[in-house]
Amino acid sequence: MIGQGGWKAFFLDRSWYPLEGKFGIMPMVWASAAMMLGAVLLAVPLGIASAIFIRFYAPKAIAQSYRLMLNLLAGIPSVVYGLWGLTVLVPLIARWQQPGASLLAAILVLTLMILPTVALTSFSALAAVPKDILAGAAALGITRKGQIISVALPAARNGILGGTLLAMARALGETMAVLMVSGNVVQYPTGLFEPVRSLTANIALEMAYATDQHRAGLFASGLLLTLLVLVLAWLAARYQERNTYG
């Protein structure tokens, strides 16, 4: 596979891709990137807020159940998210703006999927910040909000960053859910409501009928994806190492 893929990698640049004209995979690459960034933009604030909630605001019982819930969310298979997205989200979006199956749908579903990861890793990072530091801040008369924003978050910065990178890797690699809700039209993502096709969905859809060269191209795009994900994972590991606490 790698041999074949690597050899044919040349062809990616030379636009032999039978579907579009030149640079066939670029629309898909942009679509994947757009989905991932959109999801991260939504999930990270929500995830960090959840983590803050569990660590600082929720009473013990609620915190436990919330964490359980996040674990539950994390365990739901991607097809089920896709199913729900397809049957609930897409028609909802369609009412606002046709056709419904769109970049926005993909972003929303991905957000749901990576939210638990971001929340749970951020929580670990926050929980590892020693109570003494916060006590010190309190003694200086800093408000709860101030303690969290100015002391806890910076201290947990590396852990949170690591978690975010992992979530990005997950978003990039997600296939089924985005396949089901994004519309799968090969075009550049020009607007939130446009249907697009991600790199992963492309592989999944075309493998079934791809012939030699086409197959090789799909393998090559898979390789590209893997490389991107590996880089993100490596960065994430680096940041986790640098984590000041825990």
CB distance 172 to 201 below 8 Å? no
Q: Is 84 in the site for other proteins (CB under 8 A)?
A: yes
Least separation in angstroms between CB 9 and other proteins:
15
Q: Exposed, middle or buried, 96 (CB in 10 Å: 0-12/13-18/19+)?
A: exposed
CB distance 220 to 5 below 8 Å? yes
Q: Is 88 in the site for other proteins (CB under 8 A)?
A: yes
Instruction: Give the 3-state secondary structure of residue 178.
Output: helix
Q: Which one, of 64, 39, 43, lies nearest residue 118 by Cα?
A: 43
Token look-up 């791809």 returns 210
Q: Is 246 in the site for other proteins (CB under 8 A)?
A: no
Candidate list 138, 229, 245, 246; residue touching other proteins; CB under 8 A = 229
Measured from the CB atom, the residue of 24 and 183 that comes closer to other proteins is 183
Measured from the CB atom, the residue of 64 and 190 that comes closer to other proteins is 64
Q: Is 87 in the site for other proteins (CB under 8 A)?
A: yes
CB distance 158 to 240 below 8 Å? yes
Q: Is 98 in the site for other proteins (CB under 8 A)?
A: no
Binding mask 4-33 for other proteins (x = CB under 8 A): ------------------------------
Candidate list 23, 41, 97, 144; residue touching other proteins; CB under 8 A = 144
Binding mask 37-66 for other proteins (x = CB under 8 A): ---------x--xx-xx--xxx-------x
Q: Is 180 in the site for other proteins (CB under 8 A)?
A: yes
- Count of residues near other proteins by CB under 8 A: 61
Instruction: Please give the C-alpha separations between residue 214 and each of 16, 28, 56, in angstroms, as whole numbers.
Output: 9, 15, 53
Q: Cα 217 to the chain's mean position, in Å? A: 24
Least separation in angstroms between CB 185 and other proteins:
15
- Residue ranges of alpha helices (H) inside the chain are 2-13, 26-52, 60-75, 78-84, 90-96, 103-127, 131-139, 144-146, 153-155, 157-173, 176-181, 199-206, 212-241
The binding site for other proteins (CB under 8 A) comprises 1, 46, 49-50, 52-53, 56-58, 66, 69-70, 72-73, 75-84, 86-88, 112, 115, 119, 143-145, 148, 166, 169-170, 172-176, 179-180, 200, 203-204, 207-208, 218-219, 222-223, 225-226, 229-230, 232-234, 237
